[in-house]
Structure 1
Amino acid sequence: MYVALWPRLLAGSLSLALSAAVQAAAPKADVMIWRLDCGQIQMNDASPLSDTGTYDGRSRRLSNGCYLIRHGAEMLLWDAGLPSTLLGKPIDSQPISPTLSVDLPTQLAKLGLRPDDITRLALSHYHFDHAGQAAAFPKATLLIGAADWTALRSTRKPAGAEPALLAPWLTGKGKVDPVEGDRDVFGDRSVVMLAMPGHTPGASALLVRLRQAGPVILSGDVVHLEAQWSLSAVPSWNTQRADSLSSMDRLQKLAANLGATIIVQHDPSDVSKLATFPVASR
């Protein structure tokens, strides 16, 4: 009897390996994604990208991507890039030198959209290079990891955060939806926020299922460069080292199990994995 039950028990245990929100499923709504240009970051000192000295004495150029996702009639913006105050700022010799060539409202206008057309603004985490232009979308519901939201509201400002960038929500004028664990954003498993703590306490990645291109995972800052996967390179500015390594492992295994393409948002070599703006990936 036990032998006969074993296949069923094994199947049951495997089905629990992935949460219901992220199990493989074809998208039910019309889902499209555009990569938006949210700046460049020149790291003249790349040493913070690893707390074990991997990048000591090196420099790296990082891209900074934001992503517009259409789900039926709804528009979700994933991350809000660098602040618009950096528009046209030249790259200089500072250890970290960010610049922005075009803002989000300008890019949305090329798609016939206004900031008020964005119904949900989901942030991978609270750092200024991902929340920079958030205030341009005050009518959007803000989705952010619950632990990050708690940190932003504490009396001690988290490193790398500029709470003023999220003023519409921190002052109570905008709607906030703090996210605990994984979140099936639209209820059909086509767009899922994935809990990936470590870089910040409530950091997330985003799984998007496309009919033609298949599933993609937007990394947030689980890593900043593709090379960090094999090196297990944890940045020195991450809030929790063990959580960082666990999230790196989880994201890679999810991608393998789902057959998903990982988009490392800060790696310039990953920009070409999605269609070039203003074309959308489907």
Structure 2
Amino acid sequence: MSSLDDHETITLPAPAPNQNYVSISALDAGHLTLPEKLFVTDADPDKRATVPSLSFLIQHPSQHPKTTPTNLVFDLGLKRDVSGYRAAQQDHIAQRQPTTASPDAAASLRAGGLEPTDINTVILSHVHWDHVGTPADFPNAEFVVGSGTQHLLAHGGGPLYPADIFNPDELPSDRTRELPPVRASDAAHASACQTRHAWTPLAGFPAVVDFYGDGSVYVVDAPGHLVGHVNVLARTAPGKWVYLGGDCCHDARILSGEKGIALYGDGRGGLRSVHADTEVAAGTVARIARLMKQGRVREEGGREVRVEVVVAHDGVWREGNRGRFWPGRL
């Protein structure tokens, strides 16, 4: 993580004259239990913590008076019905007990007065079992995933990510759009991509997509954890941004530098982490951590701004921000 300049000023785009801002609300979407030793360095070998798998409602203002906002959900958490997981997935889930899936993302939306049928778009940070939720609950939504995701669902991703830990029919084929390849080495999948978006660099991130085309919501390529892993950077008010980090890390102390990414045996005589590529994941973490440096993030024109970073499994954040869950707002 030291290869990046921690003292560099990060520049975000200045607001447009009629800038759109989005509202973001956290959603309870289930809990799972994680052994700390697999996720952070210098861990208590016996400590296990039950943590959330957070989902987020992002509401984009309508361009037309008297119409409703566009509703986007980022990540869906756990399935409420474990039978919706394949056998190998259920074997893994058995190691993450206790788990809870009530309320799930759909129930959390309803509790705040919004129906899952009102959701226009679902963006998945990635397709691990604790983020895919129950896609069938969202029959009117377009699903958006990172490059290579559909190939991963169908074929797996090597010996540590075999096909049987993914469900090839997880997403609705007629309503799923995969973002384009970011790197030239991914070009083999380009023919399968149907997209209206293009990647550009922003704020120290090599590749982001201006999702609505108005500078309000950016999808960030966040490689390292799993093929197709993406994050969201959103503008919520003048001088205020929110970064939704998915599984860039599983403990906020890694972002603050208090802890590092844990390594453990891969069963083949080597070491691995919870990330598909630990070095690349560490680079992603370093880029995100720079957004948290007070006084070092500014918009074009020099105005200092604040970026709040939230990762999917941050139980401390959840307990301290209960009033910001839907219908509350970040």
- Residue 48 of structure 1 is matched in structure 2 by 38
Question: What is the match of residue 34 of structure 1?
Answer: 25
Q: 1:251 aligns with which of 266, 274, 288?
A: 288
Q: Is the 8 A contact 1:30 1:71 kept in 2?
A: yes
Asked which structure has the greater RCO (Cα within 8 Å, sep 6+), the reply is 2
Q: CA deviation at 1:32?
A: 1.1
Identity of aligned residues (%): 24
> Taking structure 2 as the reference length, what is the TM-score of the superposition?
0.68
For residues 81 and 39 of structure 1, do their structure 2 counterparts lie closer, same or farther at Cα, with a shift above 3 Å needed? same
Partner of 1:261: 308
After TM superposition, give the deviation of residue 57 of structure 1 in Å.
2.9
Q: Which residue of 2 aligns with 1:71?
A: 60
Corresponding position: 1:82 with 2:78? yes
- Among candidates 237, 255, 259, match of residue 274 of structure 2: 237
**Are the counterparts in 1 of residues 21 and 216 from structure 2 also a CA contact under 8 Å?**
no
Residues 32 and 280 of structure 1 are in contact (CA less than 8 Å); yes or no, is this contact kept in structure 2? no
Unaligned runs of 5+ in 2: 1-7, 62-68, 84-92, 183-206, 264-272, 299-305
Contact 1:213-1:281 within 8 A present in 2 as well: no
Q: Is the CA contact (8 Å cut-off) linking 1:65 and 1:81 kept in structure 2? A: yes
SS in 1 for 2:175: coil
Q: Tell me what 1:7 maps to.
A: none
Q: Equivalents in 1 of 2:223, 2:283: separation in Å?
A: 8
Q: For residue 115 of structure 1, what is the aligned residue in structure 2? A: 116
Normalising by structure 1, we get a TM-score of 0.79
Provide the rounded CA distance (Å) in 1 between the counterparts of 2:114 and 2:261: 39
| 8 A contact 2:156–2:166 mirrored in 1 | no
Within 1, Cα distance between the matches of 2:176 and 2:315?
33
Cα distance in 2 for partners of 1:213, 1:96 equals 39
Instruction: Report the AA paired with residue 79 of structure 1.
Output: D
Counterpart secondary structure, 2:152: helix
Query: Paired residue for 2:49?
Result: 60
Work out which of the residue numbers 219, 222, 233 in structure 2 matches 1:196: 222
Cα separation, 1, equivalents of 2:321 and 2:289: 17
CA offset at residue 101 of structure 1? 1.8
Shift of 1:68: 0.5
Aligned residue in 1 for 2:213: 187
TM-superposed CA distance for 1:79, in Å, is 0.1
